[in-house]
């Protein structure tokens, strides 16, 4: 069987829990986790190459952005859980990710297109590398490994740039950006102490993420407001469960941080499936989230805090929200699977008649 881009994408999603669990182990397990994240990050590059070679598929267009966002969830949320990065750096990154998908839905409904900028294309790669550098700095505070890694990466990129410039007579914007960021990252590693290095890398990651989403915000927010209060309600509903869970994570028991990762990951998946359902003209079940899931989750939190206190209410909220998100995503997958089977049978039937 020929390995295709979709196989690598699915493999990335399936294997992501392994380095996530390893990152909570000892130093050897953390190194293995960093290596695992690196290898899985490379599959993102490889499946992109394969998709361009063989052609993309509807399933690939659906799965690839979901896989990238889940990757970011399992790498960035532990940074908050360990106290390596503050929540105020990570939270806006997830806000941007959820907002952009919703703005795309509003623009698709009104037949407007949001063009993907060059910075948005490399944003996920920069987030992956940034998270890896932050983990590396925290694990090896003497900076030797960090500086050696960045120096090697810079030399390799310079060599590649020289070869490409000699062959083509110019350098791509993406390669110029990579060189600039590597020089900056190495300078930060040489000049600053580890805590300041971590914050600087986190701020750069945050800044690039927000700037890459500015175009979507400028076009998407007015479109959302133009569609009125129901659209604004849908926007708030799409953000409520994952971002509230993330905001409550510092108040929850440490052993429940994995539930926050699950909530964010399943919400990324269901958001992508909701987007697909709207584009494909399939059943839109997002009303279930607005009218049932969110009220049920909030009812477990607000009265619980009043009558039982935060120590009881927040764990209950996280467990209930995790279950609701899983059920909602499973329902979305069932709709997608039914539509895919119907399309397959239709194509097979046309082939038989011919």
Kindly give, in sequence order, each residue whose CB lies less than 8 Å from that of residue 165, ignoring residues fewer than 6 positions away. 171
Q: Where are the alpha helices (DSSP H) in 140-285?
A: 144-168, 173-191, 194-212, 214-226, 229-248, 257-280
pLDDT higher than threshold 80 for residue 79 = yes
Taking only the tens place, the pLDDT of each residue in 149-170 is 999 999 999 999 999 889 888 8
What pLDDT is attached to residue 84? 95
pLDDT higher than threshold 60 for residue 350 = no
Mean pLDDT confidence for 212-222: 83
What pLDDT is attached to residue 55? 73
pLDDT higher than threshold 80 for residue 124 = yes
Q: Which region among 137-141, 175-179, 184-188, 345-349 has the lowest average model confidence (pLDDT)?
A: 345-349
pLDDT higher than threshold 60 for residue 254 = yes
Name which residue leads in pLDDT, 111 or 274.
274
Kindly give, in sequence order, each residue whose CB lies less than 8 Å from that of residue 283, ignoring residues fewer than 6 positions away. 277, 335
pLDDT higher than threshold 90 for residue 207 = yes
The mean of the pLDDT values for the chain is 87
Give the Cα separation of 349 and 353 in Å (integer).
6
What pLDDT is attached to residue 46? 83
CB count within 10 Å of CB 28 equals: 9
Mean pLDDT confidence for 134-156: 94
Instruction: Tell me the percentage of the chain whose pLDDT exceeds 90.
Output: 49
- Rounded to two decimals, what is the model's pTM? 0.91
Give the Cα separation of 299 and 276 in Å (integer).
30
Mean pLDDT confidence for 94-105: 88
Taking only the tens place, the pLDDT of each residue in 283-296 is 888 888 888 999 99
Cα angle: 268, vertex 226, 62; to 5 degrees: 25
What pLDDT is attached to residue 322? 96
- The band of 110, judged by pLDDT with boundaries at 50, 70 and 90, is low
Say how many Å lie between the first and final Cα of the chain, rounded: 27
Give the Cα separation of 329 and 105 in Å (integer).
18
């Amino acid at each position: 069987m020929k390995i295709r881009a979709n196989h690598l994408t699915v493999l990335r999603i399936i294997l992501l829990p392994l380095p996530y669990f390893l990152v909570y182990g000892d130093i050897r397990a953390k190194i293995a986790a960093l290596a695992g994240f690196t290898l899985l990050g490379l599959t993102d590059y490889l499946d992109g190459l394969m998709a361009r070679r063989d052609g993309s598929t509807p399933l690939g267009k659906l799965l690839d952005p979901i896989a990238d966002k889940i990757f970011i969830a399992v790498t960035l949320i532990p940074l908050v859980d360990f106290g390596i990065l503050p929540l105020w750096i990570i939270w806006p990154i997830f806000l941007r990710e959820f907002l952009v998908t919703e703005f795309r839905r509003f623009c698709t409904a009104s037949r407007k297109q949001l063009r993907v900028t060059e910075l948005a294309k490399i944003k996920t790669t920069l987030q992956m590398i940034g998270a890896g550098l932050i983990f590396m700095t925290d694990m090896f505070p003497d900076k030797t490994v960090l500086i050696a890694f960045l120096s090697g990466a810079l030399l390799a990129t310079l060599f590649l740039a020289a070869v490409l410039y000699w062959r083509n007579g110019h350098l791509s914007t993406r390669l110029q950006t990579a060189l600039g960021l590597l020089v900056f990252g190495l300078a930060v590693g040489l000049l600053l102490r580890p805590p300041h290095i971590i914050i600087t890398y986190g701020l750069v990651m945050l800044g690039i993420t927000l700037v890459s989403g500015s175009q979507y915000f400028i076009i998407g927010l007015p479109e959302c407001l133009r569609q009125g209060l129901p659209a604004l309600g849908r926007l708030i509903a799409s953000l409520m469960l994952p971002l509230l869970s993330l905001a409550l994570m510092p108040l929850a028991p440490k052993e429940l941080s994995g539930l926050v990762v699950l909530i964010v990951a399943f919400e990324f998946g269901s958001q992508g499936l909701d987007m697909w359902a709207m584009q494909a003209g399939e059943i839109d079940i997002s009303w279930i989230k607005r009218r049932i899931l969110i009220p049920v989750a909030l009812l477990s939190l607000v009265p619980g805090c009043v009558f039982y206190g935060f120590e009881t209410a927040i764990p209950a909220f996280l467990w209930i929200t995790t279950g609701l998100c899983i059920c909602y995503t499973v329902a979305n997958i069932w709709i997608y699977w039914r539509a895919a089977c119907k399309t397959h049978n239709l194509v097979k039937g046309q082939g038989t008649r011919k």
